[in-house]
Amino acid sequence: MSKLCGNCGTILSDEAQFCNQCGQKAEDWITCKCCGAHVPAGTKFCTQCGAPVSDGNQQDFGANDLGGGFQNSPPPFWANTPRRWFIGKIIVGVTGIIFALLILAVMFGETGQQVRQGYLTQYDASITVEEAFDNRFRNCEWSTERKNGSDYVIFHGYDPEMLLDWVVTFTVYDDSFEVSRIEVDGTDVTSDIEMYYLLSYIYTGNLDELMSDMFLAAMFLA
């Protein structure tokens, strides 16, 4: 067993009590035969490979074992840090990420449910938005989006009567929501009156009435 200054790395004689270079108290160190790591005497397990540091797995070291450069390089800070410390840090980090993702999932889930289970009472107060849209469209998909501080619920569906794809965007507020955009077959509907007729069609399913209303709206807007 040899002595080593834990402060500056100087190898000392077996009788030395203090370092002759920096004045710090000398410490007994041993070398793990499994991985070659230098650990304080009395260590039961190697801090680098985890192997037991028993009588059969330790050796004294001298200048030849350490190499010329080690005398000026003290052991790294993690040399005596238990592996369970690093594992604990990893577990805490992963747990935090999972918790944050769960919070986001709950927030967006509540936003989507506010619209899907809500009502557009000006068209029909007896069925939910989701029921009305499921009755009218096929391949229904709902998604949520947060942009510029606002929450949106976006519906995608295929109308088997018109043979066209629809995209309906809802803007969600604290205790209410509204339809803010409708896109039919890639064309944006911008006027309030046209959006009203299209939403009425979703609830009534009367395509002939929609065509008549949209024709009148086009004449009015012209």
Model pLDDT, residue 99: 58
**pLDDT recorded at residue 192:** 87
Q: Would you say residue 13 has pLDDT above 50?
A: yes
The answer to whether the beta carbons of residues 201 and 209 sit under 8 Å apart is yes
pLDDT of res. 81 = 57
Question: For 68, phi and psi rounded to 5 degrees?
Answer: -65, -30
Q: Please give the mean pLDDT across all residues of the chain.
A: 77
What pLDDT was estimated at residue 72? 47
Q: How much is the pLDDT for 94?
A: 73
pLDDT at 168: 95
The residue that leads in pLDDT, 112 or 221, is 112
Q: Could you tell me the pTM of the whole model?
A: 0.49
Question: What pLDDT, on a 0 to 100 scale, did the predictor assign at position 43?
Answer: 75
Residues 140-186 have pLDDT tens digits of 999 998 888 889 999 999 999 999 999 999 999 988 999 999 999 99
**What's the CA gap between 69 and 96, in Å, rounded?**
41
Q: What is the pLDDT of residue 62?
A: 47
* Kind plus residue range of the DSSP H or E element containing 142: strand 138-147
pLDDT over 90, % of the chain? 29
pLDDT confidence tier of residue 69, bands split at 50, 70 and 90: very low
**Number of neighbours of residue 68 by Cβ within 10 angstroms:** 8
Check residue 37 and give its pLDDT.
73
State the Cα–Cα distance between residues 108 and 145, nearest whole angstrom. 8
Q: What is the pLDDT of residue 119?
A: 94
Read off the pLDDT of each residue in 57-61 and give the average, rounded to a whole number: 49
Separation CA 67–CA 2 (nearest Å): 15
Residue 214: partners with Cβ closer than 8 Å, 6 or more residues away: 194, 197
pLDDT at 54: 63
Average pLDDT over residues 20-35: 74
